[in-house]
C-alpha cells in the first residue's frame, strides 16, 4: 500500500492524503485535537521526530489523533498550508491550526507539545471513566487502588481538580499525612481553592485526630467497662475506632452518646458524627445508615 493511502497504524495514528485531509483532519479536529506531521521519505530529521511523536500520542487513545502527510505525494496540501521546510508539525483544533513547530525537537519537548495539544479538548471520556471507577474504590476504602487511579487521572489531565481531591483523600486513607501536607503546600491557589480539593483538605485534621487517638483503644475499653455511659469516654472511643477504620462501630458510639444526652458539651457527639460523615463519604453505606438513626434520635 502506498504512502498516500489512508492507513490506520494504530487506533489514533493515521496516514492521510489530499482526498482524506478534510474529513480526517479538519472535520475530526472540530471535536478533538489532530496533530499533523508533514514529512517526506528523504527527510532525515523526520526519521527521528516521527517515531517520538508516535510514542507520545499512543497513550492518549482516540482522544488525540496523529495524522501523517507525505508532502511529496500531497504537494497541494503542502502548498496551501505554506509548508516551506520539514518536519513541520501543526495541531488542528476546532477546524483550524492552533499550534505548531518546525524542525527537530527533543523528546521532552515533543511530549510537552503533545500533552498541550491533548489538553485542548479537556479531560475526555477516559478521564470521566477513571473518575467513575475511583468512586467505587473510595466507597470500599481501597486506598491503594484509589491512589493509583488518581495518578492516572492526573497523568491524563494534570489540572483536574477532582483528581487532586481523590489523591488527597487516598493519601489520608493511607495515613501519609506528611506527604499529603507537602502535596497540598505545592498546589496552585486555583487548584487548592477548588471545591473537591477544599473538601479533601478539610478531612486532614479530622483524620489526624483519629489516627492519633487509635493508640488509646485498650485503655478506653477498660474505662468504658467501668463507666459504659461516660460521654467523654464514648467520644474518645468513637474517634479512636474511626482511626482504625471501624466506621460503623465509631458511629454507633456517637449515636449512643447522642441518645444519652443530645446537648452534652455543646453537642460534641453530633458535631463529631457530622465531621465523620464527611470523611467517610456522604454516600457510604455506614453514613447512610447512621444518618437515618441520627434523624430518628433528633426528631423523636
The verdict on whether 46 is a catalytic residue reads yes
Catalytic residue of the set 14, 43, 201, 204: 43
Exposure b/e, 119-144, CB count within 10 A at least 16 = b: bbeebbebbeebbeebeebbeebbbe
Q: What are phi and psi of 229, to 5 degrees?
A: -110, 15
Extended strands (E) in the chain: 7-10, 13-15, 34-39, 65-70, 88-93, 96-102
Which residue do the cell numbers 523526520 mark? 46
Q: Are 47 and 105 in contact (CB under 8 A)?
A: no
Q: What are phi and psi of 73, to 5 degrees?
A: -90, -10
Q: Is 20 helix (H, G, I), strand (E, B) or coil?
A: coil
DSSP one-letter code for 66: E
Cα–Cα distance measured from residue 278 to residue 134, given in angstroms and rounded to the nearest whole number: 17
The verdict on whether 43 is a catalytic residue reads yes
Catalytic residue of the set 16, 46, 118, 131: 46
Q: Are 240 and 216 in contact (CB under 8 A)?
A: yes
* CB neighbour list of residue 265: distance below 8 Å, 6 or more residues apart: 231, 232, 235
The residues annotated as belonging to the active site are 43, 46
Amino acid at each position: 500500500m502506498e504512502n498516500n493511502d489512508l492507513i490506520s497504524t494504530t487506533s489514533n495514528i493515521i496516514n492521510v492524503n489530499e482526498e482524506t485531509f478534510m474529513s480526517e483532519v479538519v472535520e475530526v479536529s472540530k471535536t478533538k485535537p489532530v496533530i499533523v506531521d508533514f514529512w517526506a521519505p528523504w527527510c532525515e530529521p523526520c526519521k527521528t521526530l516521527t517515531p517520538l511523536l508516535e510514542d507520545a500520542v499512543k497513550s492518549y487513545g482516540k482522544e488525540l489523533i496523529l495524522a501523517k502527510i507525505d508532502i511529496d505525494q500531497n504537494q497541494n496540501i503542502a502548498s496551501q498550508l505554506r509548508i516551506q521546510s520539514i518536519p513541520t508539525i501543526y495541531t488542528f483544533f476546532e477546524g483550524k491550526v492552533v499550534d505548531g513547530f518546525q524542525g527537530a525537537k527533543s523528546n521532552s519537548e515533543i511530549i510537552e507539545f503533545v500533552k498541550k495539544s491533548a489538553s485542548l479538548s479537556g479531560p475526555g471520556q477516559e478521564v470521566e471513566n477513571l473518575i467513575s471507577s475511583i468512586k467505587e474504590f473510595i466507597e470500599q476504602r481501597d486506598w491503594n487502588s484509589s491512589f493509583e487511579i488518581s495518578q492516572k487521572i492526573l497523568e491524563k489531565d494534570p489540572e483536574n481538580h477532582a483528581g487532586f481531591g481523590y489523591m488527597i483523600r487516598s493519601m489520608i486513607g493511607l495515613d501519609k499525612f506528611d506527604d499529603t501536607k507537602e502535596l497540598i503546600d505545592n498546589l496552585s491557589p486555583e487548584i487548592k481553592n477548588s471545591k473537591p480539593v477544599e473538601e479533601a483538605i478539610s478531612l486532614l485534621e479530622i483524620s489526624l485526630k483519629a489516627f492519633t487517638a487509635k493508640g488509646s483503644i485498650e485503655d478506653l475499653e477498660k474505662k468504658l467497662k467501668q463507666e459504659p455511659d461516660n460521654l467523654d469516654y464514648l467520644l474518645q472511643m468513637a474517634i479512636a475506632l474511626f482511626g482504625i477504620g471501624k466506621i460503623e462501630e465509631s458511629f454507633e458510639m456517637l449515636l449512643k452518646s447522642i441518645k444519652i444526652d443530645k446537648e452534652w458539651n455543646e453537642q460534641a457527639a453530633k458535631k463529631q458524627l457530622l465531621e465523620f460523615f464527611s470523611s467517610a463519604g456522604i454516600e457510604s453505606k455506614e453514613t447512610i445508615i447512621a444518618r437515618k438513626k441520627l434523624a430518628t434520635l433528633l426528631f423523636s
